[in-house]
Every structure is written in structure tokens, then in C-alpha cells.
Homo-oligomer: A and B are copies of this chain.
Amino acid sequence: MRIAVITFDGFNEIDSFVSFHILNRVDAAGWKAEITSPSGMVESRNGVRVFAQQPLEFANEADVVLFGSGSRTLEMVNDPAVMSRLKLDPERQLIGSQCSGALALWKLGLLQTLPVCTDFKTRPLLEAAGVPVLDQTFVASGNVASAGGCLSSPCLATWVICSLLDDAAAEAALDYVAPVGEREQFIAAALAAVQPFVSRKVIGANHS
């Protein structure tokens, strides 16, 4: 499974790197999450400059595409020079978003009237566009998922792993990142948040 974590200029460090890290903990052949950006280098909302690992077009061939969040997401999703480079397909890809990344799902026509989870700053923008926003951490409908609040990132990663592998693989990846002394509750909470939305997928079978 190749996983694109889409990371724009102005990105939120937690929203890109937490799910990226957890997904890279998965011990399965070919699993790899990569920072994927419109330019060779992006700068975070707090001034950290990071080299992209993949160009934006990598998302089009990835098995999983996760949109991170950031202070410039609205500007990015309104820029045809950025968005025209994306040709995603929820029939063959898992597609998820974190916080303002939900704006990208909306712009790509992946939401229609599906409810989403997002942060409290993005919420009014989506509601103004007619998208229902939920007061919860995570939601998915089929192959499209969204999570709200920076530290909902473990749920997004858990959903990907449970959907493409199994609960045991998700538990093993979460075990590495759980706070010591809170392992059981942490893993149980992440699994409980996503399990209502998991159906085992056969994604990217044509790549393997």
C-alpha cells in the first residue's frame, strides 16, 4: 500500500505527521506513507521547512490519500493550478482528511451531502457550502473519511489500517505510539471510534 499524506504550504505539523508516523509503523510488505506536496519544499504554519517525498501527482496512483490540514488549505483548494493535478477515485482509493483537509474533499466533489468531521475554524466554511458537520472525532462513508481536531489523527490512521489489513495490525501500530500506562484505553478508544465505519476493502489489488 502506498499512502500519500498531502501536505500544503502552511501545513499543521500534527495533522500531517501523526497519521504519517503511525502508518509507517505498519509492518506489512510495501506499506509506506509519504509526504506529498505541490512543490519540492513546503513550509509549515510554524515556519518549519520540509522537503516533499513525492510530488502531488503521486496521490493519483496511491492506494490511500490523506489530506492534512493547515493555515492555507482554503487558498490551495481554490487554486486550479494545484487542484487540477489531482485525479482521485474513491472507487479504487481510500481518501481521508484531517481538519481543514475536508475542504479538499468538498472541492473534489467527494462529499456532496455526506456529513464530515473537521475543526471548529473550518466548520462554518463547510456549513455555508451545505455540508453537514458532526460533533465527533471521526466519520467515514464507504471509502471517504474525515477526522476533526489535530489529535484525531490516530483515528484516521486506524481506519486506514483496519480497512486494508485488520484490527491486529492497527493495534500493533498504535502500540508504538500510545502513551505509556494508557496503552489499553488508547488503543480501545481509537478502534471504537472507527469500527462502525470499517468494512474490509480490497484496494489497489491491481498493483499487487
Copies per complex of this chain: 2
Q: Is A79 an interface residue (CB 8 A)?
A: no
Point out the residue from B12, B53, B177 that lies within 8 Å of A149, measured CB to CB. Answer: B177
Q: Is A24 an interface residue (CB 8 A)?
A: yes
Point out the residue from B14, B137, B177 that lies within 8 Å of A182, measured CB to CB. Answer: B137
Taking CB atoms, residues of chain B closer than 8 Å to A180 are 117-120, 134-137, 148-149, 152
Taking CB atoms, residues of chain B closer than 8 Å to A183 are 149
Q: Is A196 an interface residue (CB 8 A)?
A: no
Taking CB atoms, residues of chain B closer than 8 Å to A47 are 53
Residue of B nearest to A99 (CB): B180
User: Contacts A135-B180, A148-B181 given; 9 further ones with Cβ under 8 A?
Assistant: A13-B20, A13-B21, A17-B18, A20-B46, A49-B50, A134-B181, A136-B181, A147-B179, A150-B178
* A residues apposed to B, CB below 8 Å: 12-14, 17-18, 20-21, 24, 33, 35, 46-51, 53, 117-120, 134-137, 147-152, 154-155, 176-183, 186
